[in-house]
Amino acid sequence: MKTKLDPVFLAPADLARADTILRSCVHCGFCTDGCPTYQLLGDENDSPRGRIYLIKDMFETGQVKAAQVTHLDRCLSCRNCETNCPSGVAYTDLLDIARGAIEQHQARGLTSRFGRWLLRRGLGLSGLLTAAFSLARQMGRWPGLARHLPVRLSPKRSWRSVVITQPTPQQVLLLDGCVQKAATPNVNLAVEQLLAVSGVEVVRVAKESCCGALNYHLGDHAAGLADMRRLLHTLAAAGPDAAPIVSSASGCGVTLKDYPSHFPMGDPDHELARRITARIVDVVELFGEHAIRVAPMRVAVHTPCTLSSGQQLGTNVTDVLTQAGIDVVALGPHLACCGSAGTYSVLQPQLATALQANMVTALTTHSPEVIVTANIGCQMHLGAGTDVPILHWAELLWQQHEALMSASDPKPDF
CB-nearer residue toward ligand SF4: 231 or 305 = 305
For residue 294, give the amino acid letter.
V
The yes or no reply on residue 31 touching ligand SF4 (CB under 6 A) is yes
For residue 171, what are the β-bridge partners? 201
CB-nearer residue toward ligand SF4: 89 or 153 = 89
To ligand SF4, the closest distance from the beta carbon of 80 in angstroms equals: 4
The yes or no reply on residue 354 touching ligand SF4 (CB under 6 A) is no
For residue 274, what are the β-bridge partners? none
To ligand SF4, the closest distance from the beta carbon of 74 in angstroms equals: 7
Binders of ligand SF4 in range 63-122 (CB under 6 A): 75-81, 85, 87, 89, 91
To ligand SF4, the closest distance from the beta carbon of 75 in angstroms equals: 3
CB-nearer residue toward ligand SF4: 90 or 174 = 90
The yes or no reply on residue 37 touching ligand SF4 (CB under 6 A) is yes
CB-nearer residue toward ligand SF4: 25 or 281 = 25
The yes or no reply on residue 412 touching ligand SF4 (CB under 6 A) is no
C-alpha to C-alpha distance for 321 and 324, rounded to whole angstroms: 5
For residue 261, give the amino acid letter.
S
- Identify whether the C-beta of residue 161 lies closer than 8 Å to the C-beta of residue 193: yes
To ligand SF4, the closest distance from the beta carbon of 399 in angstroms equals: 33
- Identify whether the C-beta of residue 60 lies closer than 8 Å to the C-beta of residue 5: yes
The yes or no reply on residue 35 touching ligand SF4 (CB under 6 A) is yes
How far from 383 is each of 150, 228, 352, 358, 375, CA to CA, in Å? 9, 29, 13, 13, 12
To ligand SF4, the closest distance from the beta carbon of 29 in angstroms equals: 5
C-alpha to C-alpha distance for 358 and 43, rounded to whole angstroms: 19
For residue 189, give the amino acid letter.
L
Binding mask 320-339 for ligand SF4 (x = CB under 6 A): --------------------
CB-nearer residue toward ligand SF4: 49 or 221 = 49
C-alpha to C-alpha distance for 94 and 18, rounded to whole angstroms: 6
CB-nearer residue toward ligand SF4: 373 or 399 = 373
Helix (H, G, I), strand (E, B) or coil at 42: coil
CB-nearer residue toward ligand SF4: 61 or 87 = 87
Q: How many CB atoms lie within 10 A of CB 161?
A: 10
Options 33-41, 173-181, 232-240, 319-327: segment touching ligand SF4 (CB under 6 A): 33-41
42: left (phi over 0), alpha (psi -120 to 50) or beta: left
Binders of ligand SF4 in range 11-30 (CB under 6 A): 25-30
To ligand SF4, the closest distance from the beta carbon of 14 in angstroms equals: 19
- Give the up-direction half-sphere exposure of residue 339: CA atoms within 13 A in the CB hemisphere: 25
CB-nearer residue toward ligand SF4: 91 or 216 = 91
The residues, ordered by sequence, that sit 6+ positions from 21 with a Cβ below 8 Å of its Cβ are 89, 90, 91, 93, 94
* Count of residues near ligand SF4 by CB under 6 A: 24
To ligand SF4, the closest distance from the beta carbon of 41 in angstroms equals: 10
C-alpha to C-alpha distance for 339 and 74, rounded to whole angstroms: 10
CB-nearer residue toward ligand SF4: 186 or 348 = 348
Binding mask 247-276 for ligand SF4 (x = CB under 6 A): ------------------------------
The residues, ordered by sequence, that sit 6+ positions from 19 with a Cβ below 8 Å of its Cβ are 3, 5
Q: Whats the size of the chain, residue-wise?
A: 414
DSSP 389: -
To ligand SF4, the closest distance from the beta carbon of 247 in angstroms equals: 21
Helix (H, G, I), strand (E, B) or coil at 96: helix
**Helix ranges (DSSP H) in 184-300:** 186-197, 213-217, 221-237, 250-257, 259-262, 270-277
- Give the up-direction half-sphere exposure of residue 132: CA atoms within 13 A in the CB hemisphere: 16
- Identify whether the C-beta of residue 220 lies closer than 8 Å to the C-beta of residue 120: yes
Options 43-51, 114-122, 195-203, 230-238: segment touching ligand SF4 (CB under 6 A): 43-51
To ligand SF4, the closest distance from the beta carbon of 47 in angstroms equals: 6
Strands of the sheet containing 200-204, edge to edge, are: 200-204, 170-174, 245-247, 280-282
CB-nearer residue toward ligand SF4: 27 or 121 = 27
CB-nearer residue toward ligand SF4: 78 or 231 = 78
To ligand SF4, the closest distance from the beta carbon of 357 in angstroms equals: 17
Binding site for ligand SF4 (CB under 6 A): 25-31, 35-37, 48-49, 51, 75-81, 85, 87, 89, 91
